[in-house]
Structures are given as structure tokens and as C-alpha cells.
Amino acid sequence: MTKNMNNSPTTTFKHPHLQSFLKRYPTHQKLLLHAAFPLALTPELLYCLRENFDPDSPWIAVSDILLFLCESVGFQLYKMSPDVRNELLYYLQPEELYKLSDFMVAYIRQQLKINYRADEDLGAAPHWTALAYIKPEDAIQEITNKIQEIKNKNSTELMKFASVLESYAEIDPLIKAGLQPLLMLASGELSTFNFQVVTVNRRGKIIKTEPKQATYFVEDLGNGVTLDMVAIPGGKFMMGSPEGEGRDNEKPQHKVTVPPFFMGKYQVTQAQWRVVAALPKIKDNLKSNPSSSKGDNLPVEQVSWDDAVEFCARISKATGKQYRLPSETEWEYACRAGTTTPFHFGETITSKLANYQASSTFADEPKGTYREKTTAVGSFPPNAFGLYDMHGNLWEWCADDWHKNYINAPTDGSAWISQSKNFVLRGGSWINYPRNCRSAYRDYYGNRDSRSYDIGFRIVCAVWGT
């Protein structure tokens, strides 16, 4: 079938079920095409699509789409089979996609006005998955608000709402990933914390202080030691440095889409390291106290890339979750936290904001205190995601091996692996100049078993197996 949006097809579809539908309703392919747009369908939504885009189609065509082209995935909730949906989406023209997006946003907003009560069936409305498909950031915010609203009123209703989110999460892996933090929040696994984010100008003067809130879960490692994992929302950003800023290995600047994940609130501490190092060996031996500077709340250092990977393997086996090193893309995305300036603090940093060689300057800020050693995690203000020490203190290992620039780099947030002997470091350390602590700055050191007093790491936790 040629790409057109008329209700008179020039040829037949390839899929036999689509051929059968078109044989029954030869002039109503528009209803069929538009039904493929939402990730999830309900009778109500499909009737609204019919009314708005193909009002002359028979009512029975709606039932035929649900019965013969979809499968039930919940109460009055249907999912079109992937092969059918993909074929239909191929024929949707951009102008129609825009119209459908506008329609879905309006539909979602209308649905969000529903005043849910504990005795209502929350599974009837498809707005959560539809909104997550069109504007995932808005979906996260809307559902988070709804969870908090219900949580403050009725715990029974909250758990019912969580089960509804679970049913929507089964529809699509990306939706599932985006909803995991919300499901955890609804079930009580996630908590929230409040913090202040500061922004400075070129002189290092604070020009804005903004209150923020982040969600996180606590991993109990035993012996009174815990690990805080902050929910990082998925999104898109420009990775690397723009022209006129940074080094050649930070270019070309390119757009990347990053799925949601959890990241350590702090760099891994020596107390956390000791507990995990005492767990059964997976592949490599781990020293229980490798750091040069000693202190439970100091970040662990003198650990190699292999050591960090072993740490992740041990904690994954012990907890049943999927812990790993961050990809370089995830690290920069998490560090920037929505900013585009050289540092997440703004145009520069100061020794009141980070631990680095502050006897040197980056912009017009005054020289600061050079501490000449690591500082306890959480000693300085966090970024907008609630992550601490993303600039300075210790270099952090990433999962990627080293590439000299970003030509042909992945754009999906995954680690870039090509059998290099060197692995990426990010963030700078207490011994580095401020320019080496920028959000986009990247480097490498030795090989996979190299260790140094200025290298540590933080870990991420996969979302729904990603």
C-alpha cells in the first residue's frame, strides 16, 4: 500500500489480519491507522479516535479492531500485536502524527480531571501509557503527583493504584522502565529527600538557590551500612562540548536519549566497600581496605576498573538487583542534570562547592582552598538530580572503554565497548585543575587493573533489566 491517508487503499496490507479488516471495511483504513498510534487502547479511547478521525466508520469496526488485531492485557485494556502495529505506523504521515499527538494530549488532560475514589476501577483509562509515549517527562510528573495525593489520603487506594500502574507497565518495555520508580514510590520502596541547588556566575558568586526534591531507595548492605540510589529520570540531552569549549575528544557534540536509571547518591564509600568486599567472590579477589586515605565516609580509592566491576557483581548477586558501572553517557547526563554550562553549578566552581585544586581558577572566581586530599561524601551541595560530588573529589570509572572522540558514538545511553585496553574516567578529582572537572571532560588511566589514589567510582542500578 502506498503512503497515503485516504480512506481508499491503493493495494492491500501484508498482514493477513489487516487484509481481512480492509476486506470488511474497504473505505476505513484511517480508523485502522489511527488505532495503531496509542501504545494501549481501551474501547473508550478507540471510540474517541473514531469520532474524531473517521466518524463515518461503522461502530462494529471498533470491536473488530479490539477482538482481532489486539490482545487483552487488563480490564478493558488492549495492546495491538507488534507486527500489526509496526506495519500500520509505517503508513502514518508526519502531519497525521502531529494531529494524533495533539489529540492524545487533549484526551489525557481530560482523563486526568477524573476524581479517583477507592471504589473506582482505575484500569479503565489509558492516559498514563499514552502520556508516557508522547511526553514521558510529563507522565512521570503527573503520576508522581497522583501517587503523593493518594498516599496522603488512603493507603488501600494507593496499593490499588500501584497495581494499575503494574498492568500498564506490561504494555511496553520503555513504559515499564519509566514507571518503575513510580511503582516503587507507590509501594513504599522509594522515599523522597529535599535539598538546595545553587547556581553561580563566572565570578563564583551564587546567583540562585532553588529547592529541589528527588526520589531514592535505600539498599541495606548489612552491618548498619546502607547505599542510597537516586532515581534519574530518562530524557534527551546534548552530550559533549559545543564549539569553542572543551577538547577535541569531547566532540562532536551529539544528541542522546537516555532511559531512566538509578544512580548512587554518593561515590562508593570505604564502609560500603568493606561490606561488599566481604561477600563471596564472583570472579576477582577484593582487598577489604585498599584506600590511601582512611575513613568510613571517605570515598574508596585505589580500586581498579576490574575491582569496581567485581563490586557490582557481588552486590547484584546479594540483592537480586542489576548493579553496574554507569555508561559514559549516563554519567554525563546525570552530572549535567539538565544544565548546559561547563559545570552543573553554572559557569565555574569554587572550593565551597567542590573538592579540587582550587589554587587554580577556571573563569573569574577567586582562588580557593586546595585541600590536597579526599573529603567525606556529601560535603558539598548536590546537583539538580540530588547527586553529590559529580565535580572533583575522585575520578569515577565508567563502563565504556576509551575512544578518542564521539564519532559513531551510541545515541541510546548504552556503554560504548570496542575492546580497548583503557576505560573512561569522569568527574576529575581533588588533585585536578577545575577545567578537568567539567561536566564534559573525559579521560582514561592505565588499563583495567590500574589503581590510583585519585580514582574511585559510583554505581547505577538498572531499571527493569535495562
The verdict on 148 and 223 lying in the same domain is no
Task: Tell whether 409 is covered by a domain.
Answer: yes
Which range of residues forms the domain containing residue 343?
202-461
The verdict on 31 and 151 lying in the same domain is no
Predicted local distance difference test score (pLDDT) of residue 427: 98
Strands 423-426 and 442-444: antiparallel
Would residue 428 be called left, alpha or beta, if left means φ above 0 and alpha means ψ between -120 and 50 degrees? left
CA 117 vs CA 121, 154, 155, 156: distances in Å: 9, 10, 12, 11
Predicted local distance difference test score (pLDDT) of residue 44: 86
pTM: 0.71
The verdict on 271 and 380 lying in the same domain is yes
Predicted local distance difference test score (pLDDT) of residue 222: 93
User: 163 near 186, Cβ under 8 Å?
Assistant: no
pLDDT tens digits for range 298-351 = 999 999 999 999 999 999 999 989 999 999 999 999 999 999 999 999 999 999
Expressed in angstroms, the distance from the first to the final Cα of the chain is 36
Predicted local distance difference test score (pLDDT) of residue 162: 62
pLDDT tens digits for range 203-227 = 999 999 999 999 899 999 999 999 9
Please give the grid coordinates belonging to residue 107. Answer: 484526551
The verdict on 212 and 166 lying in the same domain is no
The verdict on 244 and 298 lying in the same domain is yes
Distance between CA atoms of residues 361 and 279, nearest Å: 43
Helices (H), ranges, 364-441: none
The verdict on 104 and 79 lying in the same domain is no
Three-state SS sequence of 205-233:
CEEEEEEEEEEEEEEEEECCEEEEEEEEC
Task: Tell whether 7 is covered by a domain.
Answer: no
Residues of the chain with pLDDT under 50: 1-11, 114-126, 171, 464-466
Which one of 167, 189, 211 terminates a domain? 189
Which one of 92, 111, 134 terminates a domain? 92
Task: Tell whether 9 is covered by a domain.
Answer: no
Predicted local distance difference test score (pLDDT) of residue 192: 87
Amino acid (one-letter) located at 262: F
The verdict on 33 and 112 lying in the same domain is no
Q: Any idea what the CATH number is for the domain that residue 397 is in?
A: 3.90.1580.10
Task: Tell whether 4 is covered by a domain.
Answer: no
The verdict on 185 and 208 lying in the same domain is no
The position carrying cell 575522585 is 394
Buried b (16+ CB within 10 A) or exposed e, 236-269: ebebbbeeeebeebbbeebebebbbbbbbbbbbb
Predicted local distance difference test score (pLDDT) of residue 158: 61
The verdict on 407 and 264 lying in the same domain is yes
Distance between CA atoms of residues 264 and 21, nearest Å: 51
pLDDT tens digits for range 426-465 = 999 999 999 999 999 999 998 889 999 999 999 999 864 4
Q: What is the CA radius of gyration of the chain?
A: 25
The verdict on 347 and 450 lying in the same domain is yes
Is residue 252 reached through a cis peptide bond, with omega within 30 degrees of 0 on the bond before it?
yes
Predicted local distance difference test score (pLDDT) of residue 85: 86
Number of domains in the chain: 3
The verdict on 210 and 119 lying in the same domain is no
Distance between CA atoms of residues 152 and 464, nearest Å: 27
